[in-house]
Structure 1
Amino acid sequence: MEQFYDILKQLIRIPSVVGAEHSFFMFVKRELEELGVKVEYYDGVLVAKGDEPTSGYMSAHADRHGLICTGHNEFQYAAFIAKNRADLTGDSNSEQLLHSFTTRFVDEKVQAYEPWSGSYLGLGVIKDAFLCERRNNIIFKVDGFDYLFPGTPIAFVDKLEIQDDLISAQLDNVISVAIIIYMYHLGYKGTSFFTASEEAGKSWRFLLEWFRRFDISTDELLVLDTSPYDTIEDINALDIVLRNRDANAVFRSGLKNKIKNIAIEEQIRYHFKDAYLKNKMSQTNTKKSLGTTELGRLIKATKGQIQGTTLQLPTIGYHTVNETTSIKAVESMIKVLKKLYIDI
C-alpha cells in the first residue's frame, strides 16, 4: 500500500477547488499517461482508458470544497456561489451540514492559486466565517489576500495525517481519485471518469454529455466517494458503504450484488446507507434526505439508460480538512475493486 499512499500524498497537495479543477486534471493526466493509459479531456470530465475500455466504468469526482474571491477582500464558499449553483436548494445534507459549522473554518490556512496553470499565489488565514442569509452562502474574512482578483480560487492547505489505524485530510474525494490511479498500477484495464463540480451538483451533467457524445450506455457504472457518519464508533464498525438508492433514483445494477458477495466472502463489514438512514429516521421520528449522489442524478436524467451502483468509504469530519477514515476501510475498498476488475 506504500505506493497508494505516495499517490494520495501528492494529490492532496494539488488544489482542486470546485470550478477550478484544471491544474488538478493536468496532474492526474500526467500520472496516468506515464503508466501508458490513454487520457482524453472533455469539458468537466477527464476520461482514462485502459487496454480494455469496456471492461469497467469507474467514476470519482475530482473537485474539493474551497473558496472563491468574489470582490475586493470578499470570499465565498465556492460550491454555493450563484454561477456554480446547480440544483442546490438548501435542503441537501451537505448544505445543512455546512451551514451548521461556520466556526470550524476559523484559523484554517488557505492558499490562492491561478486557476489555469495552478501556480501558487500566496497563503492566507481565515479569520471569520458567517452565513449570509441574503446570498445563502458563507462569507469569509481572510487575512493576507487583499490583492486577489475576483474569480481566484482558494484551497485549504492540506496534508495527509496517518495516526494509528486512521487517515485524515480533506479526503472527499481525492482519496477515490488516488484509488483509481492505484488500480491502473495494479492492472485495471477499463475506463475511468474524473468529474468536475460534483460539490456544486453539476458533475453528472458532464458525465451524461460524454455518454451521449459517443452513444454509449452501461448498467455497470461504479461511482466511488466518501460517506459521512457522526462518530468514530460508527466508522470503526464499518469498512465500506453500499446503497440501494439515493434521493433521486433506485440503483438497479448487478454490480451491487457482486460487491455485496465479495464483501461477505472477504469478511468486509458493510451496510446499505439508505437503509441505515431510514432506520435512523424511524428511531428519531424525523424526515431527512436519503442523500444525493452523482449516480442518482445520472440515472434519473437518463430514465435508467445509465445504471450502476456506488462504493463509498465511511468517514467522520465530512467536508473538513480533517475528514477521517480507517486504513482498513481503504484496504477493503481496494480489495473489492481488485476482485471486481483484476482477479477475475
Structure 2
Amino acid sequence: MLSLEFIDLLKALIRQPSVVGAEHSFFRVLQRELEERGAQVTWYEGLLVAQGSRPLSAMFSAHIDRHGLICTGPDEFQYAAFISGNRTDLLNNSVSEELMSKITGRFQSVPVYAYEPWSGVYRGNGIIRSSHVCEFRNNLIFETEGLDTVVAGTPVAFKDRLKITNGRLEGQLDNVLTAAVLVHLFSLGFEGTAFFTAQEEAGKSWRYLLEWFRRFGGSTNRLFVVDTSPFRDIEAANGQLLVLREKDANATFNREATTLIERLCQENRLSFLYKNRYVEAGNAQRVLSGEKPRSLGSTEMGRIIAASNRLVDGTTIQIPTFGYHTMEESADAESVEAFIRLLTVISQVL
C-alpha cells in the first residue's frame, strides 16, 4: 500500500504549476522538499540535481515539465510544448501532427490559471472554451475566458488535483508522478543522485542533462530514466505492473542495465512488459491490415544516448498509465508501489 507520506507529497506537487518552458517555480518547490529530506541540491540551467552521501552509486532522472499554455498575444494562447520546442509550424512531422489532432478537443472547459514563471505567483484564473488549428499560422490556438488581462510570455497551467478512484491515481500525472517518487526516495534513505529536468515535452531536457555529465560524469555513466508509459485502455495498462524498454526511436539502450532491471523484476515478482516489443508486435498486425505503423516513441534516454555517443548510457523504467496527456491520466496504485519498490532495490544493489 502506498504510504500517506507519498500521497501527501504527490497531492502537494501536482497542484504546483510546471508548464513546459516555465518550470522555475516548480524547481523552487522541489528544492525545499528535497532539502527537508536531507538531500544536497544544486541548480543548473534546466536541471535540478539532488544528491545523497553516495552520489555515484545510483542515478535516476525524471522530467518535471507538464503541458499547459503560453500567452502569445492579447487574449491569445498557444500550446506551450510547441512554443518551447520552436515548433510553431507543422512541416509534415508525424509526431507533431498526430499530437495536434488529439489535442484540439482534449481540454475544452478545463479550468486554467496564469502564474509568474520564476516565483509561481498567481496571476488570475480562467477556463478554456475551445481550441482550433489556425489556418494562417498552422498552429494550435486556444480560446479562453477570464484571462484577457494576461500579457504575452505568461505561462498558463491546467488547474489540477490528485484524485484516487478505484485504486487508481488520477490527474495530469506525466511526469509529476515519478518526480514525486524520486523525492520520496530520499525519505527512504536514498544516497545516490536524482536529476529533475525541464522541457522534456519540448524535446530539450537531454541537453541540460548531458551538460552535467560533461562537467562531472565519470567513465561509467549508467543512468535510469523514469517516466510514465501510455496505453490505449485500462486493461492494457493493467496487464503489467511496470514497463521496460530495450530501445526507442532514437537509440538502443544499455543491454547490461536493461537485463539487470529485468532480473530484479523477476526476483521481486514484479510483472513487466517491454514497450518496444509491444509496439513492434502491434505494428506487424497493422502492416497486414494496411494501417500505418506506430513510432517506438522518443524518450529522454534515447535522445541522450544518441546525442552523447554513449558518453551517457543506461535504460528506462516506466509506470503504465491510461489517458495520456489529459487531466484524467491514471495509474494503478499497485504499479506505483511496485515502481517505488524496484527503485529502492536498484539503489541497494548498486
Work out whether the TM-score is over 0.5: yes
Q: What does residue 155 of structure 1 align with?
A: 157
Which amino acid in structure 1 is aligned with residue 331 of structure 2? T
Separation in 1 of the partners of 2:11 and 2:59? 25
Structure 1 position 254, deviation (Å) = 2.2
Separation in 1 of the partners of 2:256 and 2:90? 30
Structure 1 position 41, deviation (Å) = 0.1
Separation in 2 of the partners of 1:24 and 1:14? 6
1:319 to 318, 325, 340: 325
Which amino acid in structure 2 is aligned with residue 190 of structure 1? G
2:137 aligned counterpart, secondary structure: coil
1:337 aligns with 2:339: no
Write the mapping of 1:266-305 to structure 2, written as runs, cut at 5 A: 266-285=268-287, 286-305=292-311
Structure 1: any 5+ residue segments left out of the alignment? Answer: none
Structure 1 position 92, deviation (Å) = 5.7
Separation in 1 of the partners of 2:87 and 2:52? 33
Q: Does the CA-based 8 Å contact 1:90-1:96 persist in structure 2?
A: no
Q: What does residue 40 of structure 2 align with?
A: 38
Q: What does residue 231 of structure 1 align with?
A: 233
Residues paired across the two proteins, number: 344
Which amino acid in structure 1 is aligned with residue 261 of structure 2? I
The 10-residue stretch of structure 1 (133-142 or 217-226) with the greater mean CA deviation from structure 2:
133-142
Q: Does the CA-based 8 Å contact 2:89-2:138 persist in structure 1?
A: no
Which amino acid in structure 2 is aligned with residue 317 of structure 1? G
1:342 aligned counterpart, secondary structure: helix
Structure 1 position 94, deviation (Å) = 6.7
Separation in 2 of the partners of 1:228 and 1:308? 21
Q: Does the CA-based 8 Å contact 2:90-2:139 persist in structure 1?
A: no
Change over 3 Å in CA distance of 1:34–1:202 after alignment to 2: same
Which amino acid in structure 1 is aligned with residue 20 of structure 2? V
Q: Does the CA-based 8 Å contact 1:64-1:172 persist in structure 2?
A: yes
Change over 3 Å in CA distance of 1:256–1:332 after alignment to 2: same
Change over 3 Å in CA distance of 1:96–1:40 after alignment to 2: same
Q: What does residue 102 of structure 1 align with?
A: 104
Separation in 2 of the partners of 1:87 and 1:50? 43
Structure 1 position 62, deviation (Å) = 0.7
Separation in 1 of the partners of 2:88 and 2:50? 26
Which amino acid in structure 1 is aligned with residue 126 of structure 2? G
Q: Does the CA-based 8 Å contact 2:168-2:330 persist in structure 1?
A: yes
1:212 to 202, 211, 214: 214
RMSD: 1.9
TM-score, structure 2 as length reference: 0.94
Q: What does residue 80 of structure 2 align with?
A: 78
Structure 2: any 5+ residue segments left out of the alignment? Answer: none
Structure 1 position 35, deviation (Å) = 1.7
Structure 1 position 284, deviation (Å) = 1.3
Which amino acid in structure 2 is aligned with residue 149 of structure 1? V
Q: Does the CA-based 8 Å contact 2:88-2:139 persist in structure 1?
A: no
Which amino acid in structure 2 is aligned with residue 18 of structure 1? V
TM-score, structure 1 as length reference: 0.95
Structure 1 position 159, deviation (Å) = 0.4
Structure 1 position 342, deviation (Å) = 3.3
1:26 to 7, 10, 28: 28
1:198 aligns with 2:200: yes
Change over 3 Å in CA distance of 1:225–1:155 after alignment to 2: same
